[in-house]
Amino acid sequence: MKKNKVLTIMLFALLLLNICQTDYAQNLGTSVSLYLFKDDIPIISNSAEESCTSNEILSEYSPPQMIGVTKTEVDFLSPEHWALLEKGTEYIQPFELSSGYFCDDDFQEGANPPQKEINGLIYHKYTGKRYKGWDDFYNDMLTVFTEEYFKQLNSKDYGQFGKADTYISFNGDLYYRSGDRGANPTYQSNLDRYELVQANDQRIELNLVTYYLSPDDVGTDGAEPESIKRCLIILENTPSGWRIAKMTLAY
């Protein structure tokens, strides 16, 4: 009787040990399938692969697809629209890239324009030849942008000082807040494409589809683009003609 009791206990212990080993092996197998890496690419075992979709399994890098159509293939913009977009690309730069710098102006590098503190911020007086003062500047901007979009472009957040205009009028003169940023050298303008979102007689929405290299490939002949970006553009038909109501710089 005593021997039977001992044998029963031993058999029960062996059964528990077998169950524990099975659970451990299963857990270990799951861990290996999820956390093995080679060259930063997850290696997924056959057992784990069944639970993954194709999007979850990393594949070899391939360049982004070409979306939209080339400029010569666009059939939803008129010559007037193209001229406006070309002008807009020029006119948006003094707001987005470098304030106080205008194309075809005689600004000299190293010039030191007069400064004035206005509303707690330092502004520089515009001393170029393109504009005689604020009115010239403002009226010229409204030949390209809607009034509302001009206000959006001109308003910037200056931290503790809150929002303030980049360009202002002071005694009729044009003053501006100095500031600039670099362009994106990975942008490949020769690959630009266009994608219509919607259009009618009063409004056209389109995407400028832009392509970018990896920073390591800049200057490399034959390099394939690494990423794409959709830059929204909105044109509105105003009483004064077509104007830009939204434009996103590609660089």
Question: Which pLDDT value is given to residue 105?
Answer: 81
Residue 168: enclosing H or E segment and its boundaries? Answer: strand 167-170
Question: Which pLDDT value is given to residue 221?
Answer: 87
Paired sense of beta strands 227-238 and 167-170, if any = unpaired
* Whether the model pTM is above 0.85: no
Question: Which pLDDT value is given to residue 58?
Answer: 27
Question: Which pLDDT value is given to residue 182?
Answer: 75
113 with 126: CB under 8 angstroms? yes
How does pLDDT run across 69-113, given as a tens digit for each residue?
A: 999 999 999 999 999 999 999 999 999 988 988 987 876 555 678
Tell me the domain boundaries of the chain.
2-53, 71-76+184-247, 98-176
Question: Which pLDDT value is given to residue 70?
Answer: 95
CA-atom Rg of the chain in angstroms: 31
Question: Which pLDDT value is given to residue 85?
Answer: 98
135-146 in b/e burial notation, b at 16+ Cβ within 10 A? Answer: eebbeebeebbb
Question: Which pLDDT value is given to residue 155?
Answer: 96
Question: Which pLDDT value is given to residue 75?
Answer: 96
Question: Which pLDDT value is given to residue 1?
Answer: 47
Burial of 60 (0-12, 13-18, 19+ CB in 10 A): exposed
Given a cut of 50, the residues of the chain with pLDDT beneath it are: 1-61
| Cα 197 from chain centre | 18
